């Protein structure tokens, strides 16, 4: 714990943390030592970890990267972090993120961007929205971190920082006490240094929770045992639709290399088709803002967080929300409100839901032919801070390979697989059947 606190202090310029909880960490480490002395060793006993600032932590400021939550300090603990505490976690602090997890570069945070430790001569983004999580893990400030993924926010930052990130099946991790972005897509998961560390963290984070109506009442397997097992005979699908126009050559080359590694490990490679892939990104950018506009209606300056007094009630709402929300969040609220409004609902929201069903069906068909699917995680390596921030469409394209699994609720992992021509990390993604994280972990460790 002391070594990691030192690393956190040395790494301050990366802006990976929004708040430090070093005193708490020391207390937790002491309590952990005492348990250990009695022979009680939890799954995460004494492990110095950090938490994305989207998870409510009792008595510790939780702001979701937004000004609107002000100094909100929850009186309760999210189910995911409660599980981890019960398993012996030592929490070093709360990690930076895009505001309300909306973004792909950590540049929409009200607390300034987190920086990728792989920076060369200029500051690079760590990806987003779990940019602080990825940056802190990659810079050895913590052994692992919690993250969340609504459209790629665990996997894309993992790819940008040479770390491992898994989004499990929708419903594996309870959403209770995690600040909501788009409830039908949001899933928690870990970012870690190795596939096995990610498996151990996910074992702790997962589990049935009656407080979340979409939580799945299923056993949590010992995924860490799957890591390193043979993948001989495993059928790996390669979806032709993921070869997109303008795909950088090095991303294609990395994907081809991944195929070779899979073959060498004894897997069988099967070409597959996911024909509705091209509609996934537009559908996601209708469904996610729609749900966000509804979830964010609660920030009205009345109950918690920021309040900017106005002339009357409506004016107070308006001033609070204008001052409290950043530009990207306001953009999402406007898009979401528009696509849900009378007269546009059928044309946008309903249509996006239909696309979503087609995407689910595409995967169902694919599972007849293969057991896991291999794709690139993101269409590029980490880019410079500021490069894409003024062009939302460019920014949204980052999620092209990741949003499909959120729309279909499937598990997906990103594993570091190589470096680009500038020496920056690139990841490959493996997607599995619903609840089959075991195969995903097995196949991912063959790429390590």
Which residues would be at the binding site for ligand GLN (CB under 6 A)?
101-104, 129, 149-153, 181, 288, 399
Task: Quote the crossing angle between the two packed helices 437-447 and 195-205, to the nearest 10°.
Answer: 160
Shortest spacing between CB 112 and ligand GLN, in angstroms: 18
Q: How far apart, in whole angstroms, are the C-alpha atoms of residue 361 and residue 10? A: 49
> Closest CB to ligand GLN among 236 and 378?
378
Which residue among 129, 204, 293, 380 is the active-site one? 129
- How far is 175 from 189, CA to CA, in rounded Å? 11
* d(C-alpha 61, C-alpha 32), whole Å: 23
91 with 50: CB under 8 angstroms? yes
| Distances from the Cα of 272 to the Cα of 235, 245, 269, 283, angstroms | 11, 18, 10, 22
* Cβ proximity to ligand GLN, 238 vs 400, nearer residue: 400
- The tokens for 225 are 């045992």
CB distance 409 to 141 below 8 Å: no
Instruction: Name the 3-class secondary structure at 148.
Output: strand
Judged by CB, which is closer to ligand GLN: 160, or 317?
160
What the block records as the tokens of 141 is 């400030």
Handedness of CA 52, 404, 411, 195 (dihedral sign): negative
Question: Minimum distance from CB of 282 to ligand GLN (Å)?
Answer: 13
Q: Is 211 a catalytic residue?
A: no
The DSSP bridge partners found for residue 93 are: 20
We find the least distance from the C-beta atom of residue 288 to ligand GLN, in angstroms, to be: 5
414 is catalytic: no
In the complex with ligand GLN, the residue whose CB is nearer, 129 or 414, is 129
On whether the CB atoms of residues 161 and 134 are closer than 8 A, the answer is yes
Beta bridge partners of 149: 187
3-state helix, strand, coil in the chain (%, to 5): 40, 15, 45
Q: Which of 52, 167, 196, 442 is catalytic?
A: 52
Q: Minimum distance from CB of 276 to ligand GLN (Å)?
A: 19
Q: Is 129 a catalytic residue?
A: yes
Which residue from 90, 91, 92, 95 is spatially nearest to 16, judged by alpha carbons? 95
Closest CB to ligand GLN among residues 149, 371: 149
Which residue lies nearer to ligand GLN by CB, 68 or 281? 281
Closest CA to 230 of 205, 265, 204: 265
Comparing CB distances to ligand GLN, the nearer of 227 and 400 is 400
Cβ atoms < 10 Å from Cβ of 65: 33
The distance of closest approach from Cβ of residue 386 to ligand GLN in the complex, given in angstroms and rounded to an integer, is 17
User: Which run of H or E residues covers position 252?
Assistant: helix 249-264
Rounded to the nearest whole angstrom, what is the least distance from the CB of residue 387 to ligand GLN in the complex? Answer: 15
CB of residue 265 to ligand GLN, shortest distance in Å = 30
The DSSP result for 164-202, as a single string, is EEEE--TTSS--TTB--SSTTT-EEEEEESSHHHHHHHH
- Bridge partners (DSSP) of residue 119 are none
**Among residues 288 and 430, whose Cβ is nearest to ligand GLN?**
288
Check 153, 206, 215, 445 and give the catalytic one: 153
The three-state secondary structure class of 374 is strand
Q: How far is the CB of 292 from ligand GLN (least distance, A)?
A: 8
Catalytic residues: 52, 129, 153
């Amino acid at each position: 714990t002391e070594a990691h606190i030192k690393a956190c202090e040395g790494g301050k310029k990366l802006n990976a943390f929004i708040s430090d909880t070093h005193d708490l960490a020391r207390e937790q480490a002491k309590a952990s030592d005492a348990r250990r002395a009695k022979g009680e060793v939890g799954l995460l006993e004494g492990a110095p970890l950090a938490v994305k600032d989207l998870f409510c932590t009792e008595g510790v400021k939780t702001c979701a990267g937004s000004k609107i939550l002000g100094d909100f300090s929850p009186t309760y603990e999210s189910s995911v972090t409660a599980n981890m505490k019960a398993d012996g976690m030592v929490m070093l602090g709360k990690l930076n993120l895009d505001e309300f997890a909306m973004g792909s570069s950590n540049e929409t945070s009200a607390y300034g961007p987190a920086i990728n430790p792989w920076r060369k001569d200029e500051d690079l983004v760590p990806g987003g929205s779990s940019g602080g999580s990825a940056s802190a893990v990659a810079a050895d400030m913590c052994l692992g971190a919690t993250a969340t993924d609504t459209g790629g926010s665990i996997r894309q930052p993992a790819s940008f920082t040479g770390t491992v990130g898994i989004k499990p099946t929708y419903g594996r991790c309870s959403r209770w006490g995690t600040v909501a972005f788009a409830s039908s897509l949001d899933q928690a998961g870990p970012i870690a240094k190795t596939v096995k560390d990610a498996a151990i963290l996910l074992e702790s984070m997962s589990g049935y929770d009656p407080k979340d109506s979409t939580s799945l009442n299923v056993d949590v397997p010992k995924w860490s045992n799957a890591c390193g097992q043979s993948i001989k005979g495993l059928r790996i699908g390669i979806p032709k639709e993921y070869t997109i126009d303008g795909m950088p050559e090095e991303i294609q080359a990395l994907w081809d290399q991944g195929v070779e590694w899979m073959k060498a490990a004894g897997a069988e490679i099967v070409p597959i088709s996911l024909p509705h892939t091209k509609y996934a990104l537009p559908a996601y950018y209708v469904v996610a803002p729609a749900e966000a506009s509804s979830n964010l209606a609660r920030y009205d300056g009345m109950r918690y967080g920021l309040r900017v007094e106005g002339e009357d009630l409506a004016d107070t709402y308006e001033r609070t929300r204008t001052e409290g929300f950043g530009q990207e969040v306001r953009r999402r609220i406007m898009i979401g409100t528009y696509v849900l409004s009378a007269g546009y609902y059928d044309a946008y929201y309903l249509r996006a839901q239909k696309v979503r069903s087609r995407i689910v069906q595409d995967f169902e068909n694919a599972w007849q032919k293969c057991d896991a699917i291999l794709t690139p995680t993101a269409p590029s390596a980490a880019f410079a801070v500021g490069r894409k921030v003024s062009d939302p469409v460019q920014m949204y394209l980052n999620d092209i390979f990741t949003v499909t699994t959120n729309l279909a609720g499937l598990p997906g992992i990103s594993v570091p697989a190589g470096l680009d021509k500038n020496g920056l990390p690139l990841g490959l993604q493996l997607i599995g059947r619903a609840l089959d994280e075991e195969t995903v972990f097995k196949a991912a460790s063959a790429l390590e």
